[in-house]
Amino acid sequence: MQGKAGNSVVIICLIVFAMTVSALWIGNRSFEYNEGETYPVISKFNLDESFQVGSVAKVHGEVQGVYLRANGMLIYNIKSTDGLKISVMLWPGLGELEKVNQGDELEVTGTLGKYKENLQIEPLSKESIVILKKGDQESSTDVVKLGQVRDHLGKFITIGPVKVQNVKTFTSNAGKTHLKFQVYQSNYVTDALMWEGNWTKEDEQQAKSGKEFYIRAKVSEFNNRISLEIERLEVK
Amino acid sequence: MEIILIFIFIMLGFLTGAVTGLVPGIHVNTIAALMVGVSAFLLNSFEISPIAIAVYIASTAITHSFFDYVPSLFLGVPNDEVFALLPGQKMVREGRGLEALQLSVLGSWNGLLYSLFTIAVILSISYLTLAPTQGSGSANNLVALLESAIRPYLFWILLVTSLVLIITERKKVWALTIFILSGLFGLVVFASPLVPGGSSAAFSALFPALTGLFGVSGLLLSLTEKNSELPFQEDKYSIGLKKSEVYMATARGTAAGMAVGLLPGLGGANAATLLFIIEEKLSKRREVNNGENYIVTTSAINTSDTLFGIAALYLIAKSRSGASVAIDQLLEEEITFWVFLPIVGALVLAGFFAKETLSNKKCGRLCTKIISSLKYKPLSVSMIAFMSLLVFFTTGFWGLLILICATALGMISPIINVRRAQAMGFFLVPVMLYFSGQQRWVTTALALDSKSSLPVYVEVKQIAIYFLISLAMGVFTYVVTSGFLTGKDRI
């Protein structure tokens, strides 16, 4: 199709495209989830009968950690009052979000999922994340250099990129096995620890791989030396 | 028993792929959407092993990649691989259609073998040189290492690739416009909660979008084309290319197919365009782009893109094509080597059946005869009716609106002589935005914050009814329109 007829068809196509894409955009913006709909609240007690991958459910809990991946994926690790741990996966497509800190209490409505035996929930929209109560612990999702961690004493921060050395496990007097290592960046070296329950064999292997990581950790002090309580290791 | 079941499913996949490949205007991703629905039915109704169904999906995808060249040749309906049409059509006009078909079969089969050989070499070297990892579906292999090494630069790789594809067009401004509009459309569709069923549904918003961009738009435009009768086709099954030329063309195609099969957002059409641009720049030899080489290369790209798209699930634990998304959803767990093995077996067997069928003189002639005996315009109208109805039944009003939007956009490129592959901006722009790390504020700035659609349980019976009604309407439309859309409506 060439010439005038072709030009006319192109103009018609552009008009149809503009109108339909605008209608879709308006439809997206004005879309609201049915407020009358009740979704099951997932807890440790009803996990077996209520947890179904792909179904919609609610989760209540306190934020244990906030983690930002390099590609913009934000993760809130939350723990419900009955001890259920679940990660809230916030894809960057959700847009800008209200700042959430460690200790905040959240209610999230979303689609349930599972990755490597870890429970996950993807919020339906950013409006599906409701901050029920603000916690007192301040947390930052900005990436901090290892040399600046002392400024964040007592807080949860993301540090990186760092490398890991001297990876060892040790068993405490209480019989718990923790993962101990050192993280370094340029000339800075700091002791780090992953408490039992927070690390897996895979974390240990990752730590020994020689790769660079972003780490999410609470900055604490032990024997007048900075020590990092690592919550999560993420390969750069 | 399991082996017999797997073999049956390979045959079923082969038959499905042959039918879908022979029907014009059906995009391979449309098939993937249908396959998710069929898989759910088989899984729930007969409790068949997910591996058997994964084998079915892989067989369908690879067979489709062999057969979809037949309607492109003998019906002249623009498919998304518009780049491959011209040399093939030229040969058909010279009465060398069967030779063109043999070139395509040879390219596809060799592409399949070369791709498998490449994967075998990669895995063997990886096994000998790299330490195994535990608990990870993406085996510790060279491709996984390469992928993790280039991941931080993916935004730049995709940006440069897109820019090269745009600036090598004659109509650069139009090419850029189509690319950006497709990207904008992609962002709106991916952010949309309007089509119910959730992103993992059998018929998500992607179904109408891809059907419109690469299927209905081409069929609509083909209605305006004036075509001549199919000329007499020589009964020639030998090909005029030297073996070395075939090997080289296949190797180029396989390498390009592998690259786009493993990279996100890119498709076979992008690979072919890039390959020919690079070859034109590097070589002055005229035979590089002759018709025969072109057909072999593009067919090898198609097959290796399909194969690597599926293999990506095992090699890098990521889905890179419609078929791999379907398999990934089906298997849920990580794909181990022992799951990957029957899938590879299915790809080889289904590819072999496809090659043997199309190379067989009787079968080849029969396919050609059936296709060329169909009335081209009534068939296009009936396909439009079939797909529009299926979209409406499965995705509702909003799905139909997405189909209209995509069709309007998909029609522009061929009219203004811009490569149809620019519409891949639909995937490329959202993917680039994601890898740029800037998606969060950009989506908010454009008021395109995504919302998920709610999962809806659709009974398979319902899908079957929708499918049958749409099919019946398609056949009815063909019969009715055959009465008045006659005359010189074939190639």
Amino acid A192 reads: A
Average pLDDT estimate for B31-42: 68
* Identity of the highest mean pLDDT range in A43-57, A139-153, B409-423: B409-423
Q: What is the pTM of this model?
A: 0.78
Say whether the peptide bond before residue A161 is cis (omega within 30 degrees of 0): yes
Average pLDDT estimate for B56-72: 87
**B189 — contact with chain A (CB < 8 Å)?**
yes
Q: Is B430 exposed, middle or buried (0-12, 13-18, 19+ CB in 10 A)?
A: buried
Amino acid A74 reads: L
Whether A10 sits inside 8 A of B405 (CB atoms) is no
What is the spatial distance between Cα B362 and Cα B343, in angstroms, rounded to a whole number? 29
In chain B, residues with a C-beta closer than 8 Å to the C-beta of A143 are none
Q: With a cut of 70, say whether residue A36 has pLDDT above it.
A: no
With CA atoms as reference, the chain A residue closest to B401 would be A20
Whether B332 sits inside 8 A of A72 (CB atoms) is no
Q: How far is B452 from chain A (nearest CA, A)?
A: 5
Whether A93 sits inside 8 A of B449 (CB atoms) is yes
Whether B185 sits inside 8 A of A13 (CB atoms) is no
**B244 — contact with chain A (CB < 8 Å)?**
no
Which are the contacts of A151, defined by CB distance < 8 A and separation ≥ 6?
none
In chain A, residues with a C-beta closer than 8 Å to the C-beta of B441 are 95-96
Q: What is the CA radius of gyration of chain A?
A: 23
Whether A21 sits inside 8 A of B435 (CB atoms) is no
Using pLDDT thresholds of 50, 70 and 90, give the confidence band for residue B114: very high
Whether A94 sits inside 8 A of B438 (CB atoms) is no
Q: With a cut of 60, say whether residue B237 has pLDDT above it.
A: yes
Q: How far is A28 from chain B (nearest CA, A)?
A: 5
Structure tokens at A119: 């429970």
Q: How far is A82 from chain B (nearest CA, A)?
A: 27
Whether A72 sits inside 8 A of B434 (CB atoms) is yes
The pLDDT assigned to B135 comes to 43
**B275 — contact with chain A (CB < 8 Å)?**
no
Whether A31 sits inside 8 A of B451 (CB atoms) is yes
What is the spatial distance between Cα B47 and Cα B447, in angstroms, rounded to a whole number? 44
Which are the contacts of B483, defined by CB distance < 8 A and separation ≥ 6?
none
Which residue of A17, A68, A90 to mutate against B (max B Cβ within 10 Å)?
Answer: A17
What is the spatial distance between Cα A23 and Cα A18, in angstroms, rounded to a whole number? 9
Q: With a cut of 80, say whether residue B397 has pLDDT above it.
A: yes
Average pLDDT estimate for B202-221: 84
The pLDDT assigned to B71 comes to 79
Nearest to B404 among A20, A93, A97 (CB): A20
Amino acid A188 reads: Y
With CA atoms as reference, the chain A residue closest to B446 would be A95
Amino acid B373 reads: S
Q: With a cut of 50, say whether residue B48 has pLDDT above it.
A: yes
Using pLDDT thresholds of 50, 70 and 90, give the confidence band for residue B162: very high
In three-state form (DSSP H/G/I as H, E/B as E, the rest C), the secondary structure along chain B is CHHHHHHHHHHHHHHHHHHHHHCCCCCHHHHHHHHHHHHHHHHHHHCCCHHHHHHHHHHHHHHHHHHCHHHHHHCCCCCCCHHHHHHHHHHHHCCCHHHHHHHHHHHHHHHHHHHHHHHHHHHHHHHHHCCCCCCCCCCCCHHHHHHHHHHHHHHHHHHHHHHHHHHCCCCHHHHHHHHHHHHHHHHHHHCCCCCCCCCCCCCCCHHHHHHHHHHHHHHHHHCCCCCCCCCCCCCCCCCCCCHHHHHHHHHHHHHHHHHHHHCCCCCHHHHHHHHHHHHHHHCCCHHHHCHHHHHHHHHHHHHHHHHHHHHHHHHCCCCCCHHHHHHHHHHCCCCCHHHHHHHHHHHHHHHHHHHHHHHCHHHHHHHHHHHHHCCHHHHHHHHHHHHHHHHHHHHHHHHHHHHHHHHHHHHHHHHCCCCHHHHHHHHHHHHHHHHHCCHHHHHHHCCCCCCCCCCCCCCHHHHHHHHHHHHHHHHHHHHHHHCCCCCCCCC
In chain A, residues with a C-beta closer than 8 Å to the C-beta of B430 are 93
Structure tokens at A220: 């604490």
ipTM, two decimals, is 0.81
What letters, b where the CB count within 10 A reaches 16 and e where it falls short, cover A20-40? bbeebbebbeeeebeeeeebe
Give the residue among B317, B307, B309 at the shortest CA–CA distance from B137: B317
Using pLDDT thresholds of 50, 70 and 90, give the confidence band for residue B84: very low
Measured between its terminal Cα atoms, the distance across chain B in Å is: 47
pLDDT digits over B127-138, tens only? 887 765 544 444
Three-state secondary-structure class, residue A49: helix
Taking residue B77's Cβ as centre, other Cβ atoms within 10 Å add up to 22
Cβ atoms of A97 and A129 closer than 8 Å: yes
B 390-409 residues inside an 8 A Cβ radius of A: 398, 401-402, 404-405, 408-409
Structure tokens at A89: 């996966």
The pLDDT assigned to B312 comes to 86
The pLDDT assigned to B79 comes to 44
Nearest to B434 among A13, A33, A71 (CB): A71
In chain B, residues with a C-beta closer than 8 Å to the C-beta of A23 are 401
Q: Which DSSP letter does residue A90 get? A: E
Please state which of the ranges A116-120, B67-71, B368-372, B383-387 shows the lowest mean pLDDT: B368-372
